[in-house]
Amino acid sequence: MSSVTLSRWTVAYFVVALSDFMLAQLLMALGWGFPSEPLAAPATLALVHIIALGWLSLVMCGALFQFVPVITAHRLHSNSLPLPTLVCLVAGTVSLVCGFLQLMGAVPQHLPGFTVAAVLLGTGFGLVLWNLGRTLWAARPLPLPARFIVAGLASLLAVATLGITFALTFAGVFSSAFALRLLSSGLAIHVIAGLGGWLTFTAMGVSYRLLGMFMLAPEQDRSSTRRVLLLGSGALATAILGGIAAIALGAGIGLVLLLAAALALVALVHYGRDMQHLYRTRKRRVIELNSKMAALALLSLLAAIAWLGLALIRGRLTSQVPGIAYLTAFGWLSGLALAKLYKIVPFMTWLECYGPVLGKTPTPRVQDLVVEHKAIKWFVLYFAAVWLGAAALIIELTPMFRLSALLMLVATAGIAAHLLRARRLLDVAPARRLPDGAHKPGMLHSFSHDH
């Protein structure tokens, strides 16, 4: 493991992402956005994009810059591009939020918020696609988990293209009949490409590798995993390409999305079985906290799927979509991200600090950088708060939802504090903290020993 190359700016991505996540939770607790305001309200749209871009996309990009080289056994194309990428993505997200605030009348109308956002986010995600795409292309033939990432990046291209189109239509740059139809009917495709493709499908691919690596489970190269890849990619292609084609032809997209949902459901069933197999075949007998909490994230995904199925059966999908999306974003994606950060941050810190002196002097283990029995309460509080929020949406009790957001904020801050302690080596015994030759890690930048 000491030979793993560290991504220089991944920790900076995590710091900014966690800050955005806690900002979003604070806004939710204060009553910003849905359910206090309508789904289509500018405040809701601003909040959604703080979560989707500022939190989930940034944490995903940071993780991919570090772990695509691990998954493919090939060096990242550029270890310097992630910094300008981060600047573009953060500035673009701020500009986009300003654009939505303009719709509320809270920001002067003459500022080109949506146009600037389209340029910056297009540049930022273009750099992500270029850097990771070049890395994956050079690493062919790709292992199975990397193929999920390819499909996720294709979805990122789709969601970014749709988002830029929406932003420029809001700004009045695009005014064709197709652009207006896409704005009015393409939101579902935008959400599916982002939440389902870029974030969920990529997370599924990464989870095959990271959960296996951290639990010492055998490499997943099962026929069921290939079915997950095929069916999931088919579902995304059907929803995105089929949906856009239907809009272009002036037809409804309901049937297309129903077919995509059926394919996705079968893919997720196989994925669930793969995850069950991975946990059962692990060689690490004692499951670490990060893997236990990843199981709760998977449970949240299962609950979201069951919720979706019940909504379809009862013909109440439209009214239940916000709750399903909430549980997917906060229970599954955010829960998995927080769980894996609890392993990734100590892992990267350990490599940076102790990698150069491994075999030369006694060093702590990765798990010595954290104290699991002190951190577990924050994870339990986080998932309990998420599930409380889901219940609040079901019974339409807004004060209870705001309380759940406040509890999530407290829990996330507690988890972030433990990540900070790991980064600063505060839970390592002072006598073992910095042996001769060890390098104390920085807060935003990782020192790559091979450069």
* Residue range 262-288: mean pLDDT, rounded: 91
pLDDT in tens, 237-262: 999 999 999 999 988 899 999 999 99
Distance set, CA 291 to CA 213, 254, 404 (Å): 11, 37, 24
C-alpha closest to that of 385 among 317, 429, 335: 335
Query: Can you give the chain as a three-state secondary structure string?
Result: CCCCCCCCCHHHHHHHHHHHHHHHHHHHHCCCCCCCCCCCCHHHHHHHHHHHHHHHHHHHHHHHHHHHHHHHCCCCCCCCCHHHHHHHHHHHHHHHHHHHHHHHCCCCCCCCHHHHHHHHHHHHHHHHHHHHHHHHHHCCCCCHHHHHHHHHHHHHHHHHHHHHHHHHHHCCCCCCHHHHHHHHHCHHHHHHHHHHHHHHHHHHHHHHHHHHHHHCCCCCCCHHHHHHHHHHHHHHHHHHHHHHHHHHCCCCCHHHHHHHHHHHHHHHHHHHHHHHHHHHCCCCCCCCHHHHHHHHHHHHHHHHHHHHHHHHHCCCHHHHHHHHHHHHHHHHHHHHHHHHHHHHHHHHHHHHHHHHHCCCCCCCCHHHHCCHHHHHHHHHHHHHHHHHHHHHHHHCCHHHHHHHHHHHHHHHHHHHHHHHHHHCCCCCCHHHHCCCCCCCCCCCCCCCCCC
Indicate whether 1 pLDDT > 50: no
What integer is the mean pLDDT of 151-163? Answer: 97
Q: What is the mean pLDDT of residues 420-426?
A: 96
CA distance 28 to 429: 39
pLDDT at 216 over 50: yes
Residue 434's pLDDT band (cuts 50, 70, 90): confident
For residue 298, pLDDT beyond 90: yes
105-109, 116-120, 268-272, 414-418: lowest mean pLDDT where? 105-109
Q: Calculate mean pLDDT across residues 350-369.
A: 89
Per-domain residue ranges of the chain: 1-140
**Is residue 309 within 8 Å of residue 258, measured between CB atoms?**
no
CA distance 91 to 116: 9
Residue 4 has pLDDT above 80, yes or no: no
pLDDT tens-digit readout, 327-349? 999 999 999 999 999 999 999 99
Closest CA to 216 of 361, 343, 378, 371: 343
Q: What is the mean pLDDT of residues 198-225?
A: 88
- What is the residue type of 123? T
| Residue 221 pLDDT exceeds 90 | no
How does pLDDT run across 88-101, given as a tens digit for each residue? 999 999 999 999 99
Paired tokens of 142: 């790709």
Q: How confident is the model at residue 30 (pLDDT cuts 50, 70, 90)?
A: very high
> Is the per-residue pLDDT at 220 higher than 90?
no
Cα(290)–Cα(194) distance, integer angstroms? 25
Are the C-beta atoms of 1 and 439 separated by less than 8 Å? Answer: no
- Predicted confidence at residue 16, as pLDDT, reads 98
Q: Provide mean pLDDT across the span 197-222.
A: 88
Percentage of the residues of the chain whose pLDDT score is greater than 70 = 98
Give the pLDDT score at 2: 46
pLDDT single digits (tens) 94-148: 999 999 999 998 888 888 999 999 999 999 999 999 999 999 999 999 999 999 9
State the pLDDT at residue 451: 39
Per-residue pLDDT at 449: 53
Q: What distance in Å separates the CA atoms of residue 206 and residue 165, rounded to the nearest whole number? A: 29
- Chain Cα centroid distance, residue 373: 26
Question: Which residues, 6+ apart, have CB-to-CB distance to 381 below 8 Å?
Answer: 407, 410, 411, 414
What is the pLDDT, as a whole number, of residue 3?
A: 54
Q: 313 burial class (0-12, 13-18, 19+ CB within 10 angstroms)?
A: exposed
List the structure tokens of 362: 């006694």
The mean predicted confidence, pLDDT, of the chain is 93
pTM to 2 decimal places: 0.95
pLDDT for residue 437 is more than 60:
yes
- Give the lowest-confidence range in 10-14, 128-132, 208-212, 238-242: 208-212
Mean pLDDT of 379-391: 99
Q: How far is CA 432 from CA 96, 300, 423, 425, 429, in A?
A: 47, 39, 15, 10, 5
What is the arithmetic mean of pLDDT over 22-26?
98
Q: Copy the structure tokens of residue 245.
A: 């084609």
Sign of torsion, CA 221 225 229 231? positive
Contact between 402 and 36 (Cβ < 8 Å) = yes
